[in-house]
Amino acid sequence: MLTRIDLRGSQLPGVRELSGLLPRASTDVESVEAVVRPVLEDVRLRGAAAVREITARFDGVDAEDFAVPQAALDEALATVDPTLREALEEAVARVRKVHADQRRTDTTTQVVPGGTVTERWVPVRRVGLYVPGGLAPLLSSVVMNVVPAQIAGVESIAVATPPQRDNGGLPDAGVLAACALLGVTEVYAVGGAQAIAVFGYGAGACEPVDLVTGPGNVYVTAAKRLLRGLIGIDSEAGPTEVAVLADDTADPVHVAADLISQAEHDPLAGAVLVTTSEALADAVLELVPGQVAATKHSDRIDTALAGTQSGIVLVDDLDAGLAVVDAYAAEHLEIQTRDARAVAERVRNAGAVFVGPWSPVSLGDYAAGSNHVLPTGGCARHSSGLSVQTFLRGIHLVEYDEAALADVARHVDVLAHAEDLPAHAAAVAVRQK
């Protein structure tokens, strides 16, 4: 459980070598493409009939119509536990408050008198939001996907989430309640690769979408990869992961609990502690078994913590620690050090950074106001988490009057001929008197 990697006492390797040394879950998306491709093709060709058969085969639910009736959504919201509804409402309010500040405004730049370029931010017309329902029904993911889409101004929102045999073939009741609370009326009881196919090609009552967002298993990820281009996607999400950068001021009880909380998601989940303190590492290792034994999903957590994707990395100082976490580029990064905010502001690569002892990842999963749909597998080096911007496209409006065009015509002529594209030059010259 939580093997050690000791990087102390020698020069830290370069980024490439360091990335290869660090724990990381291995998810071979390509290995399942051969399974996923026929599923996508079947849905493309046969539509709802294929979805029904695939759902019966994979989920054990045989339903003639996979569209969730409005009555089921209404009932889920009406019967949801009041404390759960209150928690959902608080999460929605906080996520909405944070994401409302992300909405970009149109900007017009006057390049020259009579010549302007306006950048308009236009929402995609229709989105498909995927909500996992395998090991855990992630009703919080409804909030994280729907709220930024609504703030962006998306006019048509559909949610797909797996059916549950123990709920009469409907999706999880909490997921349905979250959808109803947010005013989402188009929900489909379909999961896995076939859900992404429904979004991409359309099937049954579901019309094709322009963009698909939301996390999922390797089959969902493979489907998103194979349909990318036909649809836009947010990312290819892999197993979840947390890294904790800590020094000797960190509370080992907190650190152990935070590693365990993320390992609870999935046997492939990654939990990595990067620390300057061997005493902290020893204390965490001593605490973990007892905390794991006290949890509901101890087998799953044990598997995740014992896997090659989890471990403890010992470093000489915080500079080395920052180099390590930047090379790792964690989905979630906790900073539990002296002057945690100052250290956090030096981080370059992370999906989200949780600063200090009172900002655990669990807070961000539910009610910090931030978004929990984040880049995994090192993709935080180049990608951002889900936000309002995910659902917007920048469109330039170029507007020049006659004088402004005449003023720049000679430059267009020179550049067009330099590229051996004389018709480009002619398109401007023909407008000159």
Q: Is the pLDDT of residue 127 over 90?
A: yes
- pLDDT at res. 56: 95
Which residues are marked as active site?
Answer: 331-332
Which band of pLDDT confidence, cut at 50, 70 and 90, is reported for residue 235?
Answer: confident
What residues contact residue 296 under an 8 Å CB cut-off, 6+ apart? none
Span 93-118, pLDDT tens digits: 999 999 999 999 999 999 999 999 99
Predicted confidence at residue 86, as pLDDT, reads: 98
Determine the pLDDT at residue 65.
Answer: 94
Q: pLDDT grade, residue 236 (50/70/90)?
A: confident
Question: Residue 88 pLDDT more than 90?
Answer: yes
Answer whether residue 28 shows pLDDT above 80.
no
Rounded to whole angstroms, the Cα distance separating 108 from 397 reads 9
What local confidence, expressed as pLDDT, does residue 295 receive? Answer: 93
Average pLDDT, the chain: 95
- The residues, any chain, with a CB within 8 Å of residue 265's CB and separated by 6 or more, are 135, 136, 239, 240, 304
Average pLDDT over residues 27-37: 87
For the stretch 306-364, pLDDT in tens is: 999 999 999 999 999 999 999 999 999 999 999 999 999 999 999 999 999 999 999 99
Is residue 25 over pLDDT 80? Answer: no
Percent of the chain with pLDDT over 90: 87
Q: What is the pLDDT at residue 23?
A: 85
pLDDT of residue 18: 83
**pLDDT at residue 433 above 80?**
no
Phi, then psi, of 305 in degrees rounded to 5: -75, -25
Q: Binding-site residues, please?
A: 130, 194, 217, 240, 262, 265, 332, 365, 419, 424
Burial label, 283 (beta-carbon count in 10 A; 0-12, 13-18, 19+): middle
30 pLDDT higher than 90: no
pLDDT, residue 24, reads 82
In tens, the pLDDT along 252-282 reads 999 999 999 999 998 999 999 999 999 999 9
What mean pLDDT do residues 378-405 have?
A: 96
Binding-site annotation, residues for NAD(+): 130, 194, 217
Please give the pLDDT value at position 17. Answer: 82
pLDDT of the residue at 417: 98
- Domains of the chain from N-terminus onward: 3-27+238-369 (3.40.50.1980), 29-107+124-234 (3.40.50.1980), 401-430 (no CATH)
Cα(82)–Cα(78) distance, integer angstroms: 9
pLDDT bucket at 298, cuts 50 / 70 / 90: very high
Per-residue pLDDT, 382: 94
Structure tokens at 366: 């539910």
Question: What angle separates helix 192-201 from helix 218-227, to the nearest 10 degrees?
Answer: 20
- Per the annotation, where are the binding residues for Zn(2+)? 262, 265, 365, 424
In the prediction, which pLDDT does 414 show?
98
- Residues β-bridged to residue 275: 246, 314
pLDDT category of residue 167 using cuts at 50, 70 and 90:
confident
